[in-house]
A and B are shown apart, each in its own frame.
Chain A
Amino acid sequence: MLSSKSGMRGLWFIMPAVVTLLLLITYPLIYGAYISFFDTNLITKWNFVGLKHYVNIFSNTEFVERILLTLHYTFWVVVGHFVIGTGLALILNMKLKGITVFRVILILPWLFPEVVVGLLWKWLFNPLYGLFNAVLMKVGLIDDPVSWLGDEKTAFAAVIVVSIWKGFPMVMMLLLAGLQSIPEDIYEAARIDGCTRSAAFRYVTLPALMPVMVVTLILDTVWWFKHFTMIWILTQGGPGNATNVVSIDIFKQAFEFFNFGKASAMAILVFFVCWLMGYGYRRLFGNGDD
């Protein structure tokens, strides 16, 4: 390090960020935890109820069902992101001709605002005038128009497809960046040692990519576990409870039913689920150097 008494100066540099985060994240979080112990409309009514909301949440299976539904959703979305994202990142890293064009095209979904993606797919899925039904009917896969977002059986799958479409570029970019940071000479050394293409992938690429993959996996999982906007635009959690993931549920609890206390309690529980998932991944992949 630069000098022995540089410690204090380091603190000065991070001070603005620390103060901002304390004021804008830590304080609201503590305040949110505080609200979760009250039965409140945030203005006039402040009745302390202790752990009542938490007991209430666990007194029936509703909340657990939401969490399971959200996990189910997150699982398929993340699997989709990784299968497509990893595949495309590997290809984009191959230095084929004209690759930049593909790279720009494939990043597009990430650049569209979530609201736009939600509306666009709602339009594509439109039962009467949507492109999706028109194509499927022309090909002969379906005979009559299907209301993809209006049917409990298909809405869940439809929401997953849209989420994969929107989110794979981020995984692709993170992994591509990871691939590009692997030095060329390692591959050269492997080739000289008689490594085949697939062996080089197995023994050079994969281990070198592992740290990026773990971080990407953690971030992608928690990001999509908490996802709200596109599902809100597409189905508002319906039909029935088919796409009622936990973010939507909390949002309705707070701003439709004005149960701010219960909503806060649910949000705190969701944080623990996210934290557990992050912890689990780290244990699983042995990335314990944090």
Chain B
Amino acid sequence: METTKRKFSIFNMGMYAILIVASCLVLIPALWMVSTSLKSNEEVMISPPKWIPDHPTFESFTRIWKDYPFLDYFLNSVFIVVASTAITIAFAALAGYGASRFKFRGKGTFLSFLLVTQMFPSIMLLIPFYKVLKTFGLIDTHWGLIVVYIAFALPMCTWMMLGFFQGIPKELDEAAMIDGCSQMRTFVQIILPLSLPGIAATAIYSFLMGWNEYMFAFILVTTETMKTLPVGIGQLNGFYRVVWNDMMAASIISSLPLIVLFLFMQKYFISSLTAGAVKQ
């Protein structure tokens, strides 16, 4: 008994050791980002680099708002991502519910199509989108990108919502309908409130996708004040002198919304991911 117990705790310590090493490999680059952002222009260019700056300063964090149209980037990203996520979630919830509750012709095709869309290289869509948006004068507009992000997120989101609805017993619908609820009312008043965790997880996915997207925003928007965060930050990279501290400060600001959002909703996220992935 004694030896098995001891073996067990050694085993546990080994597990903790792995977790700590892995966490360090994740945290060191992240902390390096923070450290760089707090350095002055002179201190960034010191070799060998120091972990703790001698004269920590927030000047990078104030400079990004003053010297670059960072506020524009930020607001553009927020508007585009919130709008595209809202529309995506509405469509994905309807479709996921429909596919989980009904049998109809072409359902199998529809579900496989959702998976097949993941196989297309997104660049395959970029060229036609570029041409079509140009024709309709939607280059350089918010709506151009909103439309694109809906197209990107909708398949996976429908998939996730479907998995989630499958976990809600159909008897609930039946009970509601026997009590005289219409199909739509059953969905809106009974099922949707129960699906909030699934909706939260799906929304995180869609939000992340739009917030991170780079290639399309890079091509479809050319006016400085219409650009999104990833493109805005990415082009700091192209200037002849790379200002690393400003870039890292901008990187932190643009990552924070996702991290905060995730911390609030992480409980829901992992369990809902399964739903979509497992019960295909």
Interface residues of A (CB under 8 A from B): 1-2, 6-14, 16-18, 20-21, 24-25, 27-29, 31-32, 35, 42, 84, 87-88, 91-92, 94, 96, 102-109, 111-116, 118-124, 126, 128-131, 134, 137-138, 165, 173-174, 176-178, 180-181, 211-212, 215-216, 219, 222-223, 226, 228-229, 232-233, 246-247, 250-251, 254-255, 260, 263-264, 267-268, 270-271, 274-275, 278, 290
- Set of chain A residues within 8 Å of B173, measured between Cβ atoms: 2
Q: A24-B150, A84-B22, A267-B124 are in contact. Are A177 and B251 (CB under 8 A)?
A: no
B46:A29 contact, CB within 8 angstroms: no
The yes or no answer to B254 lying at the interface (CB within 8 A) is yes
Q: Specify the main secondary structure of chain A where it touches its partner.
A: helix
Given A14-B110, A16-B94, A233-B237; A138-B48 close (CB under 8 Å): yes
22 A-B pairs with CB atoms under 8 Å apart are: A1-B103, A7-B105, A16-B90, A16-B94, A20-B91, A31-B132, A35-B131, A94-B15, A113-B251, A120-B248, A124-B32, A129-B44, A131-B28, A174-B273, A174-B277, A178-B277, A223-B118, A226-B123, A228-B214, A246-B121, A251-B123, A275-B119
Other than the given A6-B101, A84-B22, 4 more pairs (CB < 8 A) read A2-B174, A6-B102, A25-B151, A247-B123
Q: Given A35-B127, A131-B49, A174-B277, A107–B154 Cβ distance below 8 Å?
A: no
Q: In angstroms, how far is the closest chain A Cβ from the Cβ of B93?
A: 9
Interface flag for B198 (CB, 8 Å): no
Q: Which residues of B contact A216 (CB under 8 A)?
A: 277
- CB < 8 Å neighbour of A96 from B12, B22, B124: B12
Q: Is the Cβ of A18 less than 8 Å from the Cβ of B124?
A: no
Query: How distant is the Cα of A88 from the Cα of B126 in the complex, in angstroms?
Result: 36
Q: Is there a chain A Cβ closer than 8 Å to B211's Cβ?
A: yes
Please indicate which of the listed interface residues B28, B97, B102 has the most CB atoms of chain A within 10 Å of its own CB.
B102
B104's partner among A7, A35, A180, A222 (CB-CB below 8 A) is A7
B212 in contact with A115 (CB, 8 Å): yes
Contact-residue bracket for chain B: 35 or more
Q: CB distance B102 to A9 under 8 Å?
A: yes
Using CB atoms, name the residue of chain A closest to B231.
A115
Say if the beta carbon of B10 comes within 8 Å of chain A: no
Interface members, chain B 244-280 (any A CB < 8 Å): 244, 247-248, 251, 254-255, 258-259, 262-263, 266, 269-271, 273-274, 277-278, 280
Partner of B26, one of A109, A123, A177, A254: A109
Q: In the complex, are the beta carbons of B126 and A87 less than 8 A apart?
A: no
Bound-complex Cα distance A29 to B120 (A): 9
Measured CB to CB, the closest approach of chain A to B245, in angstroms, equals 10
What residue of chain A has the Cβ atom nearest to residue B270's Cβ?
A177
- Collect the chain B residues with CB atoms within 8 Å of residue A84's CB: 22
Q: CA of A173 to CA of B150 in the docked complex: distance in angstroms?
A: 24
Q: Are B126 and A129 in contact (CB under 8 A)?
A: no
In order of increasing CB-CB distance, the 8 nearest A-B pairs are: A10-B102, A13-B98, A177-B274, A17-B95, A24-B151, A267-B124, A28-B128, A274-B119
In angstroms, how far is the closest chain B Cβ from the Cβ of A160?
15
Q: Do residues B102 and A7 form an inter-chain contact, with CB atoms below 8 A?
A: yes
Instruction: Say yes or no: A32 contacts B94, CB within 8 Å.
Output: no
CB <8 Å contact, A129 and B214: no
The answer to whether B104 and A8 have CB atoms under 8 Å apart is yes
The interface bits of chain B over 210-229 (1 if a CB of A lies within 8 angstroms of the residue's CB, else 0) are: 01101100010000000001
State which residues 169-191 of B face A: CB under 8 Å.
170, 173-174, 177, 183, 187
Q: Give the nearest-CB partner of B273 in chain A.
A: A177
Q: Which residue of chain B has its CB nearest to the CB of A249?
A: B123
Q: Assess the A247–B16 pair: CB atoms within 8 A.
A: no
A27–chain B nearest beta-carbon distance, Å: 8
